[in-house]
Amino acid sequence: QQQVKQSPQSLIVQKGGISIINCAYENTAFDYFPWYQQFPGKGPALLIAIRPDVSEKKEGRFTISFNKSAKQFSLHIMDSQPGDSATYFCAARIQGAQKLVFGQGTRLTINP
């Protein structure tokens, strides 16, 4: 019930294309949904985050779409660049709790 399921496990997109990564959850007590980007040998870096009272949040080329009724949220990367090649994690936090629950990760490769 505290899981966050992420798909796909890996994704290859051509330069300039749109990368889409999806996450689903069961626990309606989650109140904060961040996305992290992780490069090899580095810790995860916060990319963008959304709260469930908002259906979409955009920051530059990165957009989170949030569907509260379906308990799904997704990350869209527009105009994908080779420098975006990394592993992306969705996460969720239970209201009133301290921990983040992470998805399994998506390894994104942008071909030049």
Partner 1 sequence: ETGVTQSPTHLIKTRGQQVTLRCSSQSGHNTVSWYQQALGQGPQFIFQYYREEENGRGNFPPRFSGLQFPNYSSELNVNALELDDSALYLCASSSGGWRNEQFFGPGTRLTVL
45 is an interface residue for partner 1 by CB under 8 A? yes
Asked if residue 37 binds partner 1 (CB under 8 A), the reply is no
DSSP label at residue 16: T
Exactly one of 8, 12, 26, 46 binds partner 1 (CB under 8 A); that residue is 46
- Residue among 78 and 97 whose Cβ is closer to partner 1: 97
| CA distances, 7 to each of 20, 60, 97, 98 (Å) | 9, 23, 25, 25
Cα 111 to Cα 29, 41, 77, 84, distances in angstroms = 38, 21, 14, 10
Q: Mask 73-112, x = binds partner 1 (CB under 8 A)?
A: ----------------x-x-x--xxxxxxxxxx-------
